[in-house]
Amino acid sequence: MQNDLVIGRQQAFVTRTGLRNSTQRNETDVTTAAIRNERKDFVLTDKDFGKICRLVGERTGIVLSEAKRDMVYGRLSRRLRALGLRQFSDYLAQLESGDETELVEFTNAITTNLTAFFREPHHFEFLTRTLLPEIVRSKSRKRLRVWSAGCSSGEEPYSLAMCLRETIPADWDVKILATDLDSNMVAKGKQGIYTADRVEGLSKERLRRWVKRGRGDKADMVRMSPALREIISFKQLNLMHDWPMQGPFDFIFCRNVVIYFNKDTQRELFSRFAGMLESDSHLFIGHSESLYRVSVDFELLGQTIYRKK
Ligand SMILES: C[S@@+](CC[C@H](N)C(=O)[O-])C[C@H]1O[C@@H](n2cnc3c(N)ncnc32)[C@H](O)[C@@H]1O
């Protein structure tokens, strides 16, 4: 009924003015979603969508906008089907009752885990050509600690591990902490098994050294070599919660994670990252992220690479 009213108002506005401004476009999206809902298995009302957005914000820091409505529907309707529920309100009641198992499934379903080996290659070039040789030259203690925060299914920490193995002398104590909110991604990272197409962009030399190809019916799968796996520790960690580790890290990768957070959450998070780094240590963020008006603890070196002041 409420949706009918919106559609009615919307059509009247278009007919009256013939215009489509940006507010109207947003409303149109809502309306379109409402129409689509009618053809879907479940109805996602504005009220339920609002509750989902609040719960996601509280649990993950992720801000969902109206534009994500279809995505939310798609991902959560699978949970409703799996649980044999008929309405989003029943699903929300289950989450609100504190069902921890389902709350984990819920957050796993909401996170966006897009990643790749050597994604944003300039960061890895800077590492191997500049930062890692500099660390080896200047550090008296042969110890290196790296954090991949929001590591998704592990391609980022494995790319880091290749760079470290290729550049840092063998007698150094080297460890990468790889954390993510999504427990399924952490499990996948721990396994270190991927479909072969994921490593297609790697050089022949890297494939030879670091990637084991499956055989027989596993021929389309690859596994990261034990030399990489043994220096990475995969852990489930919500960046919004307390962190059990003390640091300091020599550098942190937190790329394409905060893009989903609001500015206040970003401010708090980067202040906490600063607390995990010593002066002159580096922070790498995603290509569409920036610390402008978010943190004064870091100076920009270029290409989303920052140094702690
Ligand atoms: C788009 S992926 C980025 C993966 C990798 N860093 C990269 O750039 O390729 C974003 C990751 O951030 C994780 N994430 C989102 N909110 C989080 C939170 N509150 N705590 C920890 N990880 C979170 C998601 O689960 C997801 O795997």
Q: Which CATH architecture has domain 121-308?
A: 3-Layer(aba) Sandwich (3.40)
- Ligand 1 atom closest to residue 116's alpha carbon, by position in its atom list: 9
pTM of the predicted model over 0.85: yes
User: Which residue CA neighbors atom 3 of ligand 1 most closely?
Assistant: 256
Question: Ligand 1 centroid vs 209 CA: distance in angstroms?
Answer: 28
End-to-end CA distance of the chain: 57
Ligand 1 neighbours (beta carbon < 6 A): 60-62, 111-115, 119, 150-152, 156, 180-182, 185, 238-240, 255-257, 286
Of 48, 180, 182, 250, the catalytic one is 180
Category of 255 on φ-ψ map: left (φ > 0), alpha (ψ -120 to 50) or beta: beta
Nearest-angstrom CA–CA distance, 118 and 229: 17
Starting from the edge strand earliest in sequence, which strands make up the sheet with 221-224, in order? Answer: 193-195, 221-224, 211-213
Q: What is the pLDDT of residues 43-65, one digit of tens each?
A: 999 999 999 999 999 999 999 99
* Residue 5: both structure tokens together: 């009213």
Question: Ligand 1 centroid vs 11 CA: distance in angstroms?
Answer: 40
- Ligand 1 atom closest to residue 185's alpha carbon, by position in its atom list: 27
- Predicted confidence at residue 40, as pLDDT, reads 78
Contact 83, 265 (CB under 8 A): no
Domain 42-110: give its CATH code: 1.10.155.10
Q: What is the pLDDT of residues 212-271, one digit of tens each?
A: 999 999 999 999 999 999 999 999 999 999 999 999 999 999 999 999 999 999 999 999
Sign of CA dihedral 207, 212, 216, 217: negative
Contact 195, 220 (CB under 8 A): yes
Check if 223 is active-site. Answer: no
User: Which residue CA neighbors atom 7 of ligand 1 most closely?
Assistant: 115
| Omega before residue 244 within 30° of 0, cis | no
Check if 180 is active-site. Answer: yes
What does the domain layout of the chain look like in residue ranges?
Answer: 1-39, 42-110, 121-308
Assign 106 a pLDDT band (cuts: 50, 70, 90): very high
